[in-house]
Amino acid sequence: MLTIEHLAKHFPGQIALDDVDLEIAAGQIHALVGQNGSGKSTLIKCLAGYHEPTGDAPATFAPPSGGSAVRFDLAGGAAVDRVGIRFVHQDLALVDGMSAAENLALGSGFTTARMGRIRWSAEVARAEAALSDLGFADFDVRLPVGALTPAQKTAVAIARAVAESDDPAKSNVRLLILDEPTASLPGDDVVRLFTALEQLKARGVAILYVSHHLDEIFRIADVVTVLRDGRRVATKPIAELDHGSLIELMIGREMAAVERPPVSITESSRALVVRGLEGGTVRRLDLDVRAGEIVGVAGITGSGREDVVGLIIGQTPSASGSVSVGGQPVPPYRPRAGIAAGMASLPGDRKRLGIVPLLPVADNITLGNVEGHWRRGRLDRNAELHEAREWVERLSIITAGVLAPIGVLSGGNQQKALFARALRMAPGLLVLDEPTHGIDVGAKADIHELLDHAAADGAAVLVATTDTEELVRLTHRVVVMRGGEAVAELSGADLTVASIEHAQLAPEEAIV
C-alpha cells in the first residue's frame, strides 16, 4: 500500500533518519520499533508533512481504485488526507481548549445547517457514536479535552483518526498510523483498541503501529520493522522473532539479566504515612511506605490509581486525610514542604505537568532545586550545566546538547530528563506516576536498576502504574485499588501479572 524510499531527516547536530526504506502492505499490522530517539516519530512526522525530509524521498501509495500507484511528495501533508492516511501522533495533537466533539470535527469537518451554522447536537451525537464504536463511551464529549484523563484523550485522538469522511476531498482511512497509542492506556482499554484495530485490518486497512510494549507487538503485529540510530536494521515477519531476538535487533546487544540488590527495609522507619486520604477518584486511602521499600499502586482507570500520586504530592486537592513524609506533615499545594521533607515526584502527564518545553534540557533537569549552585549570591551557570551533562550521560539521554530545548527531544528522552530531575534531589521518598511511560526496553531496565539502588540506599519508592509487568519486576508489594479504595495487597509469590489483573476487577467481572 505504501512504499517509502531513501528517507532521511537531519536536524542540527543530529541525524534522526538515515536512508530508510519502508513498505507497508494492505490488511497488515506493521509494527515500528526502536529505542528512544531512534527516529520512529520523525518518520511518521515526515509522512504527515510536518517535517520536510532532507534530500529526495520518493513515496508511493496505492490508489483506492487499484491501477498505478500515486507518487507523492513526503513534504506535502495535504496529500495524505486525499489518499486516506490518518495519524494518531505521540502527543495526540488535540486542542485542549476544545471539546472532544469539536476535536473530532476538526478532522472530518463540521455538520452545518442553513446559513452555515454548525449543528452542535449533531456533532455531539456523532462524537458519541464514534467513541462508543471504539468501546470508549464513558465521558461527556462536550467537556474540554484538557479536562479528560490521558486514556480518554487517546480515545478521542483514535476516534478522530478512524472517523469516516463525507468530504469528497478526503479519502476514508486506508492506512492508520499510531505512534505509541497505548502509552497512557490501561490494560482494559488496550484490549478495546486492539479489537478496533483487528476490525480495521479485516477491512483491508493497513496499520503502522509504534509501541515500546513488546508483548503488544507479539500480540497484534504481522510484520516488524526495527530502527536503530535512524537506520532500518530489519523488517521481518513477527513469526520469525521472539522477545530476545527483537530486543537484540533494537538495542544491538543482548539484554543481561539484572541482579537486584538485597532488600533492606527498616521496619521502624516509615518514610510515607497516608491516612484517610480522600479526593478525586480516591474515596479512602491508608498507606505506608517504609524506607528501602518499593510499593506499587495498581488499578484500572477510575479505580483511584490515577489520583493517588497527585493527592500525595499535594497537587490534587484532597477533601480530607493527611500525608506525612519522614514524620513531617505535607499539606496540599505545598510543594516546598514536600521537597523539604525529602519527597521528589514524577508526574504522569509529561507534557502538561512535567516538561517546560521551551526551556533547555539543563534547566528542566535542575529546576527542582538550584540552591547547590549558588556562589556568593549568584547562580553558577557553569556548575549547573556541568551537573546536567552528568545526568544526560548517566541516563543516556539522547540530545544535541544540554542547551537544546527539551521539547525537541524524543518522548522517551524527555521522560528520562524528568527522572534526572527527581533523582538528583537524592530524595528519601520518590513518588512516581507511570514512570517508564514511553521508555524503551533497554532504558526501562536501566531505570528499574536505578530505582532498585535508590531503594537499597534507603529511599522509599511509591509507583503508580498501569504497567503490571513493571509492578511485578520492580516492587516489593502492590496495593490494588478498586472503586476508590485499596482492596488488595499482593507481595512475594502472590505478586504476579495474573493476580494483579484479577484483583483489579470487581468480583462479578472477574468470573469471566
Ligand X SMILES: Nc1ncnc2c1ncn2[C@@H]1O[C@H](COP(=O)(O)OP(=O)(O)OP(=O)(O)O)[C@@H](O)[C@H]1O
Any contact of residue 410 with ligand X (CB under 6 A)? yes
Q: Of 149-157, 285-293, 410-418, 488-496, which segment contacts ligand X by CB under 6 A? A: 410-418
- In order, the DSSP letters of 384-432 are HHHHHHHHHHHTT---S-TTSBGGGS-HHHHHHHHHHHHHTT--SEEEE
Q: Encode burial over 423-445: b for 16+ CB neighbours within 10 A, e otherwise.
A: bbeebbbbbbbbbbbbbbbbbbb
Among 38, 99, 436, 468, binds ligand X (CB under 6 A): 38
Q: Could you list the beta-strand ranges (E) of 48-107.
A: 58-61, 70-73, 85-88
CB-wise, 39 or 342, nearer to ligand X?
39
Beta carbon of residue 195, minimum distance to ligand X (angstroms, whole number): 25
The residue with cell 477491512 is 203
State the DSSP code for 128.
H
377 Cβ contact list (under 8 Å, min separation 6): none
Beta carbon of residue 465, minimum distance to ligand X (angstroms, whole number): 18
Among 41, 182, 301, 303, binds ligand X (CB under 6 A): 41
Q: Encode burial over 80-109: b for 16+ CB neighbours within 10 A, e otherwise.
A: bbbbbbbbbbbebbbeeeebbbbbbbebbe
Residue 249 host element (H or E) = helix 243-251
Q: Is 498 exposed, middle or buried (0-12, 13-18, 19+ CB in 10 A)?
A: exposed
Any contact of residue 16 with ligand X (CB under 6 A)? yes
Among 353, 408, 487, 488, binds ligand X (CB under 6 A): 408
CB-wise, 343 or 398, nearer to Mg ion?
398
Beta carbon of residue 9, minimum distance to ligand X (angstroms, whole number): 8
Each residue 438-467 as x (binds ligand X by CB under 6 A) or -, in order, gives x-x---------------------------
Q: Are 429 and 271 in contact (CB under 8 A)?
A: yes
Beta carbon of residue 20, minimum distance to ligand X (angstroms, whole number): 11
Any contact of residue 184 with ligand X (CB under 6 A)? no
Among ligand X, Mg ion, none, the one that 183 touches (CB under a kind-dependent 5 to 8 A) is none
Any contact of residue 11 with ligand X (CB under 6 A)? yes
Binding residues for ligand X restricted to 76-135, rule: CB under 6 A = 90
CB-wise, 465 or 504, nearer to ligand X?
465
Q: How far is CA 327 from the centre of its chain?
A: 33
Q: How do beta strands 70-73 and 374-375 pair?
A: unpaired
Classify residue 92 as left (phi > 0), alpha (psi -120 to 50) or beta. left
Q: How do beta strands 29-34 and 343-346 pair?
A: unpaired
CB-wise, 177 or 388, nearer to Mg ion?
177
Among 84, 342, 348, 412, binds ligand X (CB under 6 A): 412
CA-CA distance, 209 to 458, in Å (whole number)?
A: 40
Any contact of residue 413 with ligand X (CB under 6 A)? yes
CB-wise, 39 or 326, nearer to ligand X?
39
Any contact of residue 37 with ligand X (CB under 6 A)? yes
Among 217, 226, 409, 447, binds ligand X (CB under 6 A): 409
SS3 46: helix
Any contact of residue 398 with ligand X (CB under 6 A)? yes
From residue 378, give the alpha-carbon distance in Å to each of 355, 373, 381, 383.
Answer: 25, 8, 9, 12
Among Mg ion, ligand X, none, the one that 107 touches (CB under a kind-dependent 5 to 8 A) is none
Tell me how many residues contact ligand X (CB under 6 A): 22
CA-CA distance, 149 to 144, in Å (whole number)?
A: 11
Q: Of 40-48, 118-126, 246-254, 380-388, which segment contacts ligand X by CB under 6 A? A: 40-48
Q: How do beta strands 282-290 and 270-279 pair?
A: antiparallel
Shortest-Cβ-distance residue relative to ligand X: 412
Among 20, 22, 30, 42, binds ligand X (CB under 6 A): 42
Among 28, 30, 40, 306, binds ligand X (CB under 6 A): 40
Kindly list the residues in this chain that would bind ligand X in the complex (CB under 6 A).
11, 14, 16, 34, 36-42, 90, 398-399, 408-413, 438, 440
